Structures are given as structure tokens and as C-alpha cells.
Amino acid sequence: MAHHKSALKRIRQDQKKRSHNKYYAKTTRNAIRELRGEKDKESAGKRYPEVVAMIDKLAKRKIIHKNKAANLKSKLAIHINDM
């Protein structure tokens, strides 16, 4: 157990950040899953920029690595173009 007030505060802050990051990461994963499940190319094309923006925000905030974000965006673009 932590012995300093600053360490206790850091633990509280980390828990809050972790839950915040987890929420946005999970929301983005669900959006990616829904986009991959789309059957219509036109609706998937309209939804693609929204999902890309979500992925970019995660990478910018360092919740996911920038290369992972690039890979996700690339795979989604290929998926939509192959429809």
C-alpha cells in the first residue's frame, strides 16, 4: 500500500484515466466491428470518415500506437473498396 499522499493521488488519477481510455478504446472497437459488418458499400463509405476520426483521436492521445492506427485505417479502406 502507498505511504504518501501523492502516491495515493496518483493511484486515483491512474484509475480515472484507465477507465476513460478503456471507454473510448471499446467504443472505437465497436464502431470498427460495425463498419466491417456493413453490407452496403455506400453506407460503409459514409461511416468510414467517422471511424477514422475515432481511430486518429486514440492515436493522438496515445491510447493506441500510431502504427496500429495506420494499419486499422488501411485495412478498413481495403475492406470498403473490395465490397
From first to last of the 83 residues of the chain, give the pLDDT tens digit: 778 999 999 999 999 999 999 999 999 999 999 999 999 999 999 999 999 999 999 999 999 999 999 999 999 999 999 98
The pLDDT score that the predictor gives to residue 77 is 96
Among residues 44, 49, 51, 45, the alpha carbon closest in space to that of 24 is found at 51
Amino acid letter, 63: I
Question: What global pTM score does this model have?
Answer: 0.85
Domain ranges of the chain: 24-81
Give the CA distances from residue 21 to residues 24, 54, 55, 73, 79, in Å, rounded to whole numbers and listed in that order: 5, 12, 13, 20, 27
First to last CA, the chain: 54
